Amino acid sequence: MDLDQQTRRQFCARTCSAAGVAALGAAFGAVLQSCGGGSPTSPGGGDAASLPTINGTVAGASILVTIDAGSPLAAAGSLALVRSGAGNVLVARTSQDAFSALSSTCTHQGCAITGYSGQTFVCPCHGAQFDSGGRVLSGPAPTALRQYSTQFASGVLTISA
Protein backbone atom coordinates (compact mmCIF):
# COMPACT_ATOMS: atom_id res chain seq x y z
CA MET A 1 0.00 0.00 0.00
CA ASP A 2 1.49 3.36 -0.94
CA LEU A 3 1.42 6.56 1.14
CA ASP A 4 -1.47 8.14 -0.86
CA GLN A 5 -3.75 5.11 -0.26
CA GLN A 6 -2.92 5.08 3.47
CA THR A 7 -3.57 8.82 3.76
CA ARG A 8 -6.91 8.48 1.94
CA ARG A 9 -7.98 5.64 4.24
CA GLN A 10 -7.05 7.63 7.33
CA PHE A 11 -8.92 10.64 5.96
CA CYS A 12 -12.03 8.53 5.25
CA ALA A 13 -11.89 6.88 8.67
CA ARG A 14 -11.60 10.22 10.45
CA THR A 15 -14.35 11.78 8.36
CA CYS A 16 -16.73 8.90 9.06
CA SER A 17 -15.94 9.05 12.79
CA ALA A 18 -16.54 12.81 12.89
CA ALA A 19 -19.83 12.45 10.99
CA GLY A 20 -20.95 9.74 13.40
CA VAL A 21 -20.16 11.90 16.43
CA ALA A 22 -22.00 14.86 14.87
CA ALA A 23 -25.07 12.72 14.14
CA LEU A 24 -25.06 11.32 17.67
CA GLY A 25 -24.78 14.84 19.09
CA ALA A 26 -27.70 16.05 16.96
CA ALA A 27 -29.86 13.09 18.03
CA PHE A 28 -28.99 13.64 21.71
CA GLY A 29 -29.78 17.35 21.37
CA ALA A 30 -33.19 16.55 19.86
CA VAL A 31 -34.01 14.26 22.77
CA LEU A 32 -33.05 16.98 25.25
CA GLN A 33 -35.10 19.60 23.41
CA SER A 34 -38.19 17.39 23.64
CA CYS A 35 -38.03 17.75 27.43
CA GLY A 36 -37.51 21.49 27.26
CA GLY A 37 -34.12 21.34 28.99
CA GLY A 38 -30.91 19.44 29.26
CA SER A 39 -30.82 18.19 32.82
CA PRO A 40 -32.59 18.43 36.16
CA THR A 41 -30.57 21.57 36.83
CA SER A 42 -31.09 23.31 33.51
CA PRO A 43 -33.82 25.92 33.49
CA GLY A 44 -36.98 24.96 31.65
CA GLY A 45 -39.37 27.16 33.56
CA GLY A 46 -39.06 30.12 31.20
CA ASP A 47 -40.28 33.30 32.89
CA ALA A 48 -41.06 31.69 36.25
CA ALA A 49 -40.20 33.72 39.35
CA SER A 50 -39.04 32.14 42.59
CA LEU A 51 -41.83 31.43 45.05
CA PRO A 52 -41.72 33.37 48.31
CA THR A 53 -40.84 31.01 51.16
CA ILE A 54 -42.30 30.61 54.62
CA ASN A 55 -41.03 28.41 57.43
CA GLY A 56 -43.45 25.89 58.87
CA THR A 57 -43.28 24.01 62.16
CA VAL A 58 -43.76 20.26 62.39
CA ALA A 59 -46.33 19.14 64.98
CA GLY A 60 -46.99 15.40 64.89
CA ALA A 61 -48.03 14.51 61.34
CA SER A 62 -48.85 18.13 60.44
CA ILE A 63 -47.08 21.29 59.39
CA LEU A 64 -48.22 24.51 61.08
CA VAL A 65 -47.83 27.88 59.35
CA THR A 66 -48.65 31.23 60.93
CA ILE A 67 -50.41 33.53 58.46
CA ASP A 68 -50.45 37.20 59.43
CA ALA A 69 -50.65 40.51 57.54
CA GLY A 70 -46.93 40.33 56.64
CA SER A 71 -47.07 36.77 55.34
CA PRO A 72 -46.62 36.03 51.62
CA LEU A 73 -49.93 34.14 51.98
CA ALA A 74 -51.82 37.08 53.52
CA ALA A 75 -53.99 37.73 50.44
CA ALA A 76 -56.31 35.47 48.49
CA GLY A 77 -54.64 34.39 45.23
CA SER A 78 -51.14 34.29 46.72
CA LEU A 79 -48.69 31.39 46.41
CA ALA A 80 -45.72 30.31 48.55
CA LEU A 81 -43.32 27.47 49.28
CA VAL A 82 -43.54 26.28 52.88
CA ARG A 83 -40.31 24.77 54.19
CA SER A 84 -40.31 22.49 57.21
CA GLY A 85 -38.45 19.60 58.77
CA ALA A 86 -41.09 17.30 57.24
CA GLY A 87 -40.36 18.58 53.73
CA ASN A 88 -41.46 21.35 51.41
CA VAL A 89 -45.07 22.03 50.43
CA LEU A 90 -46.55 24.34 47.80
CA VAL A 91 -49.39 26.45 49.20
CA ALA A 92 -51.98 28.56 47.41
CA ARG A 93 -54.46 30.78 49.20
CA THR A 94 -57.57 30.14 47.14
CA SER A 95 -59.93 32.44 49.12
CA GLN A 96 -59.98 34.38 52.39
CA ASP A 97 -60.35 31.20 54.47
CA ALA A 98 -59.28 28.40 52.10
CA PHE A 99 -55.87 27.05 51.10
CA SER A 100 -54.54 24.35 48.82
CA ALA A 101 -51.39 22.45 49.85
CA LEU A 102 -49.48 20.32 47.34
CA SER A 103 -46.38 18.21 47.07
CA SER A 104 -43.46 20.31 45.78
CA THR A 105 -42.06 17.34 43.84
CA CYS A 106 -42.77 17.42 40.10
CA THR A 107 -44.35 14.21 38.82
CA HIS A 108 -42.19 14.27 35.68
CA GLN A 109 -38.71 13.59 37.03
CA GLY A 110 -38.91 14.49 40.71
CA CYS A 111 -37.51 18.02 40.52
CA ALA A 112 -38.34 20.43 43.34
CA ILE A 113 -40.91 23.00 42.18
CA THR A 114 -39.76 26.41 43.35
CA GLY A 115 -41.23 28.82 40.82
CA TYR A 116 -44.46 30.37 39.66
CA SER A 117 -45.91 32.44 36.87
CA GLY A 118 -49.17 34.23 37.60
CA GLN A 119 -51.30 31.71 39.51
CA THR A 120 -49.38 28.71 38.17
CA PHE A 121 -46.68 26.61 39.85
CA VAL A 122 -43.79 25.98 37.41
CA CYS A 123 -41.16 23.25 37.57
CA PRO A 124 -37.72 24.77 36.91
CA CYS A 125 -36.33 21.61 35.27
CA HIS A 126 -38.56 21.05 32.26
CA GLY A 127 -41.30 23.68 32.53
CA ALA A 128 -44.25 21.55 33.67
CA GLN A 129 -47.06 23.78 34.98
CA PHE A 130 -49.64 23.04 37.65
CA ASP A 131 -52.69 24.99 38.84
CA SER A 132 -53.37 25.77 42.50
CA GLY A 133 -55.21 22.44 42.82
CA GLY A 134 -52.19 20.52 41.55
CA ARG A 135 -53.66 19.65 38.13
CA VAL A 136 -51.25 19.52 35.19
CA LEU A 137 -51.76 22.54 32.91
CA SER A 138 -48.85 21.69 30.60
CA GLY A 139 -46.40 18.81 30.51
CA PRO A 140 -44.19 16.95 30.46
CA ALA A 141 -45.54 16.01 33.92
CA PRO A 142 -47.85 12.99 33.50
CA THR A 143 -49.96 13.34 36.66
CA ALA A 144 -51.21 15.91 39.15
CA LEU A 145 -49.31 16.87 42.29
CA ARG A 146 -50.28 15.14 45.51
CA GLN A 147 -52.73 17.23 47.52
CA TYR A 148 -52.72 17.56 51.32
CA SER A 149 -55.64 18.52 53.54
CA THR A 150 -55.64 21.96 55.13
CA GLN A 151 -57.41 23.72 57.98
CA PHE A 152 -57.21 27.42 58.77
CA ALA A 153 -58.18 28.85 62.15
CA SER A 154 -56.97 31.76 64.29
CA GLY A 155 -54.28 32.73 61.79
CA VAL A 156 -52.71 29.24 61.71
CA LEU A 157 -52.71 27.03 58.64
CA THR A 158 -52.49 23.30 59.43
CA ILE A 159 -51.30 21.06 56.59
CA SER A 160 -51.86 17.32 57.07
CA ALA A 161 -50.84 14.34 54.95
Q: 140, 126 in Cβ contact below 8 A? A: yes
Q: At residue 140, what is the residue type?
A: P
CA 9 → CA 1, 6, 21, 95, 159, distances in Å? Answer: 11, 5, 18, 74, 70
In a domain, 15, yes or no: yes
Average pLDDT of span 9-22: 48
Predicted TM-score (pTM) of this structure = 0.69
Residues of the domain holding 115:
49-160
Q: What pLDDT score does 150 carry?
A: 96
Same domain assignment for residues 4 and 58: no
Q: What pLDDT score does 88 carry?
A: 93
Q: What pLDDT score does 157 carry?
A: 96
Same domain assignment for residues 99 and 147: yes
In a domain, 56, yes or no: yes
pLDDT category at 3 given cuts 50, 70, 90 is very low
